[in-house]
Structure 1
Amino acid sequence: MKRIIKNISVFTLLAVFLLTSCTDDLNITPNDDDTLLGIELYEDESAYERVIAGVYANLALTGTSGPESSNIEGIDAGTSQFGRVLVYLQTLTADQMIWSYENDPGTRELQRNIWTAQNPLILGMYSRSHLTIALANNFLRETTSDKLDARGVSETTRAEIVEYRAEARLLRALSYYYLMDLFGKANFGTEADAVNTVLPVANRTELFEFIESELLDIESDLVDAGQNQYGRADKGVAYMLLAKIYLNAEVYTGTPRYADCMTYCQQLLNSGYVLASEYKQNFQADNNLNSATGEIIFPIISDGVTIQNYGPTTVMINGSVGSLEVNGAEVGVSEAAWGGALRVRKEFAQLWEGGDFIDDDRNTIISEDRPIGITDISDPNQGYIIQKYSNVSSDGVAGADETFVDTDFPLFRLADVYLMYAEAHLRGGGGTITEAVNLVNELRTRANNPNMIAASDLTLPFILDERSRELHWEGHRRQDLIRFGLFTGGNYNWAWKGNGSNGIAIPAHLNLFPIPSLSMSSNPNLTQNPGY
């Protein structure tokens, strides 16, 4: 992990990940634990850290034999890398991003909001999340007190395992969080369930209650916020997940929990995290160094040599090389790169119009010689492009590889906490208007935007727009639009929403993705979400 996971050669030797066993019902989506590390591995007392690294690695890698390999049989590596499919489902489906090459499996249906239960990217997200749960469950089964006693594990190692077990439970909760958010249900298993058991299905409320109880229960066993090795979870990640589920609790359970969201935002604000001195430092090739004790609360690790994968930063950096522009060197990849693969929809571009954002560092739009609108998705010369992410370090050195980037993906960062605080305050969660305004203005000051806001400017529509300006292409937009009641229906239409070039209303059932058909075939307890 640029300390733990980044030593991928060690992990690769150990992570027989999925390859150790594969049964037919799990070839499509593991409903529990057929992707297990051999029990004999745990006889080696030095292996426990490496095994928990394998659980983390499932967030970055798709297999053990390079970027093209997949440890979920029957699913392509490019459609199941966790961060990539997360960005596709949360961002490509909304109003910020367009993918030019609609022959790539699943992308056309996602960005036009016409997906079905056969979409491979939806299957990839469902499968990859369940695999993390399976790996975490297996680690927890093999690190009980009885098993550690039987193996004669030393007290020193057992003390470390307490932390590893808490981290495994947190990573499991993280996966259940995304399954709750995206699908509203999941195969539900813990370490108490036997391997190869046909699992029950937990609904959204049940998942919410489990995630909440797990995060509260493990707090005392986690390393203090910001004090763990970079890339490993700690109390800060748990606080962030709690803030997230409480911010969206009204969507998930029907009961608002904004005061609880505010409690954990405040906890994070008091945990020692600091904003990076420059906005762009969060998205450069050495963002691990700039944010190891600062803004990035939890990353998905990337490395152009040892952790090669088609993850979100590799996709977004290569995709940001325009079809008209010669900007590959600027973002640290091949000049040819992917030739205009990614552009922005006009509604996102319009958030930067007017005099307030001309010099805003968050505004990386390139508009010269381009129309703002996209009438033909296959024409990469239409629509603006952006250069948010870069495979160049803060001192101007390009990454080690011209395709696979060194830039970590900031899954959670402090700026989101600032904006969650402001929103939770406006929704009645407490705090003060003075602090909410100060936090928003601090983000603007960091972005070199001189246009400060006053209390009268701080409204919920403003917050939604400011979240898009600050957090675009970080995997939040669909969730935000749903919380504001604007993703489905026709109150807000964006280009190509509902497969209309100017956008049309889409039905409410699209607020949840379908359960993949192949996943349903592996667990008879799964039922399809309404409308599919």
Structure 2
Amino acid sequence: MKKIRQNRFLRMMFLLALALYFNSCTDDLEKTPENVTTSDKQFNSVEGYKQGLVSVYSNLAYSTFLRFYWSMQEYTTDMAVSTWNDGGDGIYHELAWSADSPAITNVYNAAINMITLCNNYINEASPDKVSARGFSGSEANQIEQFKSEARFLRAYCFWILMDCYGNPPFPTEETLGTTAPSQIQRADLFDFLENELTDIESILADPGTNEWGRPDKAAAWALLARMYVNAKVYTGQEHYTEAITYSNRIIDEGYALEDRYEWLMLGDNNLNTNEFIWTINYDNTNITWYSTNFLALGPAGVPGSINGMSSSWQAFRFTQQVPALFPTADTSIDKRAMFYTNGQNLEVNSITTSTDGYSAYKYRNKKRDGSPIEQNNNFGNISDIDFPVFRLAEIYLIYAESVLRGGTGGNLTLALDYVNKIRGRAYANDPSSTLGNITSTQLTLDFILDERARELYWEAHRRTDLIRYNRLTTGDYLWAWKGNAEAGRAVDDKYNLFPIPTSDLLANPNLQQIEGF
């Protein structure tokens, strides 16, 4: 299996995003445009269609989306407390937001904006328009593949809305620019996404053959597997058998764990073609403070000599419950325990004290050999770390959990083998090692939840995981300052979801708020 990194594609993304931004700015809103690229001019070639797709990708990568989504997934849990405690990070950890909280609009608006861009692209790539513009044969097929990628990106954003907000608005290419979107129920959105992803899987590129950062069949399978393992939360119905089915499809394509855990989140992690399934790409030529910058610079205390960029922003740390999941708070046993402890206290006695709570140096803007990444910008501290939305270790853990939850089509022996591969890498930098092995009796659902925390920390999974295990809001699992209590406390179950922002409720009469908000 081989994936090709295309820096040209990434740079094209950013440059087009800038062009779109500056073309939209004027001091005179009454001015008649004199140099406007119409749809027919933009989409008069296959290259034009690709450039149109680039604008969608650039919006995902270079908007505020990743940083705000990460905050929503991690600050609400044991995985992070915010020193700054601004922009809603405080209410996230307190589990105390409302429909008027500005923080909850960030991801909501970013996802809706992405969906709107995808809907517009899907319209422009409709069979009627493609035919009217003179495309046929291989060119039409290539445009159809581009459209399938836009449909995947739209599905990914709808999944985020389904996971976070429950019953979101449902804008499609058919309603674009005509009427206010209707509201869709969570279970119905699940059905739509299931149908959409299975419909495009045959059109998407084969696994490992697309440009780096563009989704392929395996990306669609990974999103389906993630949806299916959470299906009981979304629909009330179990789909663990389907989660196993789509995990198997990915595993059967020959993906493999990278040898060393420390390689996963480096500035040259575009080399991780064995394990990474779909990534959001970053390049320090393209300046933004909303990339993986915050994941390298944000952890409290970590110096530039370690993170490969500059001194820490002192932005976030773990609660003490996270280091307790590891055998030690260093890499002497489990090499995933990349905790930064110098000058840091274990316990979080104060959320806004930057030295309360360990942090980590998981994200480092360096190469595998430890050498620095050349900076092609005037700041000297912009990240090259690509963000893996899906990687094989998650798929292994989905498979194992789904087997334990009663799904068919898999077996406990393979589940144990996949988990032990993850632990072999963690304990010996070798997935085939037996050093970290557990036994079949140790492989329980509780173990899987803890192993996901050890393997996937700070990769925007934790809130969704705790909800699936009924531990986000309940008293079954407490962490420091959960519910704004130092020892933690249970909160109202309504905080398993975020409300629809008041601003959108006022703008769209078709929407109804979640009960309790």
TM-score by length of 2: 0.91
Distance 1:85 1:12, change over 3 A: closer
Equivalent position amino acid for 1:391 in 2 = N
Task: Give yes or no for contact 2:119–2:176 (8 Å, CA) kept in 1.
Answer: no
Distance 1:416 1:185, change over 3 A: same
1:119: how far off? 2.5
Tell me the equivalent position of 1:486. Answer: 471
Task: Give yes or no for contact 1:132–1:172 (8 Å, CA) kept in 2.
Answer: yes
1:241: how far off? 0.8
Among residues 84, 105, 113, which one is paired with 2:87 in the alignment? Answer: 105
**Is the counterpart of residue 514 in structure 1 residue 499 in structure 2?**
yes
1:19: how far off? 3.0
**Is the counterpart of residue 384 in structure 1 residue 358 in structure 2?**
yes
Task: Give yes or no for contact 1:418–1:440 (8 Å, CA) kept in 2.
Answer: yes
Among residues 407, 411, 419, which one is paired with 1:432 in the alignment? Answer: 411
CA distance, structure 2, for counterparts of residue 420 and residue 193 of structure 1:
35
Tell me the equivalent position of 1:414. Answer: 392
Task: Give yes or no for contact 1:366–1:385 (8 Å, CA) kept in 2.
Answer: yes
1:20: how far off? 8.3
1:358: how far off? 3.5
Alignment map for 1:118-197 (pairs within 5 Å) = 118-153=100-135, 155-197=137-179
CA distance, structure 1, for counterparts of residue 207 and residue 140 of structure 2:
22
1:226: how far off? 1.9
1:319: how far off? 1.2
Equivalent position amino acid for 2:493 in 1 = A
CA distance, structure 2, for counterparts of residue 356 and residue 263 of structure 1:
36
**Is the counterpart of residue 8 in structure 1 residue 13 in structure 2?**
yes
Equivalent position amino acid for 1:384 in 2 = Y
Among residues 295, 306, 316, which one is paired with 2:275 in the alignment? Answer: 295
Task: Give yes or no for contact 2:164–2:497 (8 Å, CA) kept in 1.
Answer: yes
1:232: how far off? 0.2
CA distance, structure 2, for counterparts of residue 526 and residue 260 of structure 1:
32
Task: Give yes or no for contact 2:17–2:58 (8 Å, CA) kept in 1.
Answer: no
- 1:377 is paired with a residue of what secondary structure? coil
Deviations 1:191-243 (A, max 9, x none): 22241421111110111000000001111111111221110011011000110
Task: Give yes or no for contact 1:15–1:51 (8 Å, CA) kept in 2.
Answer: no
Distance 1:101 1:14, change over 3 A: closer
Q: Percent of pairs identical after alignment?
A: 38
Task: Give yes or no for contact 1:6–1:301 (8 Å, CA) kept in 2.
Answer: no
Among residues 60, 65, 70, which one is paired with 1:82 in the alignment? Answer: 65
1:277: how far off? 1.7
CA distance, structure 1, for counterparts of residue 397 and residue 46 of structure 2:
44
Alignment map for 1:279-290 (pairs within 5 Å) = 279-288=261-270, 290=271
Tell me the equivalent position of 2:34. Answer: none
Deviations 1:133-186 (A, max 9, x none): 111111111112221222223544212101101111111111110100000022
The 10-residue stretch of structure 1 (251-260 or 516-525) with the greater mean CA deviation from structure 2: 516-525
Tell me the equivalent position of 2:372. Answer: 398
Task: Give yes or no for contact 2:116–2:176 (8 Å, CA) kept in 1.
Answer: no
CA distance, structure 2, for counterparts of residue 485 and residue 205 of structure 1:
19
- 1:190 is paired with a residue of what secondary structure? coil
The 10-residue stretch of structure 1 (107-116 or 279-288) with the greater mean CA deviation from structure 2: 107-116
TM-score by length of 1: 0.88
Among residues 424, 447, 456, which one is paired with 1:462 in the alignment? Answer: 447
Equivalent position amino acid for 2:349 in 1 = T
Tell me the equivalent position of 1:319. Answer: 298
Distance 1:487 1:275, change over 3 A: same
- 2:97 is paired with a residue of what secondary structure? coil
- 2:174 is paired with a residue of what secondary structure? coil
Tell me the equivalent position of 1:26. Answer: none
- 1:412 is paired with a residue of what secondary structure? strand
1:395: how far off? 2.4
Tell me the equivalent position of 1:334. Answer: 310
Tell me the equivalent position of 1:41. Answer: 42
Among residues 506, 509, 513, which one is paired with 1:524 in the alignment? Answer: 509
Task: Give yes or no for contact 2:13–2:54 (8 Å, CA) kept in 1.
Answer: no
CA distance, structure 2, for counterparts of residue 364 and residue 275 of structure 1:
19
CA distance, structure 2, for counterparts of residue 205 and residue 57 of structure 1:
30
CA distance, structure 2, for counterparts of residue 189 and residue 271 of structure 1:
34
Task: Give yes or no for contact 1:85–1:122 (8 Å, CA) kept in 2.
Answer: no
Structure 1 gap ranges (5+):
22-35, 63-80
Distance 1:354 1:393, change over 3 A: closer
Deviations 1:82-136 (A, max 9, x none): 111111111110011111011x221111122111222333201011111111111
Alignment map for 1:161-310 (pairs within 5 Å) = 161-288=143-270, 290-291=271-272, 293-310=273-290
- 1:493 is paired with a residue of what secondary structure? coil
Equivalent position amino acid for 2:344 in 1 = R
Tell me the equivalent position of 2:481. Answer: 496
Task: Give yes or no for contact 1:333–1:403 (8 Å, CA) kept in 2.
Answer: yes
Task: Give yes or no for contact 1:184–1:512 (8 Å, CA) kept in 2.
Answer: yes
Tell me the equivalent position of 1:55. Answer: 56
> How many residues of Structure 1 are paired with residues of Structure 2 in the alignment?
492
1:309: how far off? 3.5
Among residues 375, 382, 401, which one is paired with 2:349 in the alignment? Answer: 375
1:368: how far off? 4.1
CA distance, structure 1, for counterparts of residue 387 and residue 15 of structure 2:
22
Question: Over aligned residues, Cα RMSD in angstroms?
Answer: 2.2
Tell me the equivalent position of 2:436. Answer: 451
Task: Give yes or no for contact 1:3–1:230 (8 Å, CA) kept in 2.
Answer: no
Distance 1:198 1:465, change over 3 A: same
Equivalent position amino acid for 2:80 in 1 = M
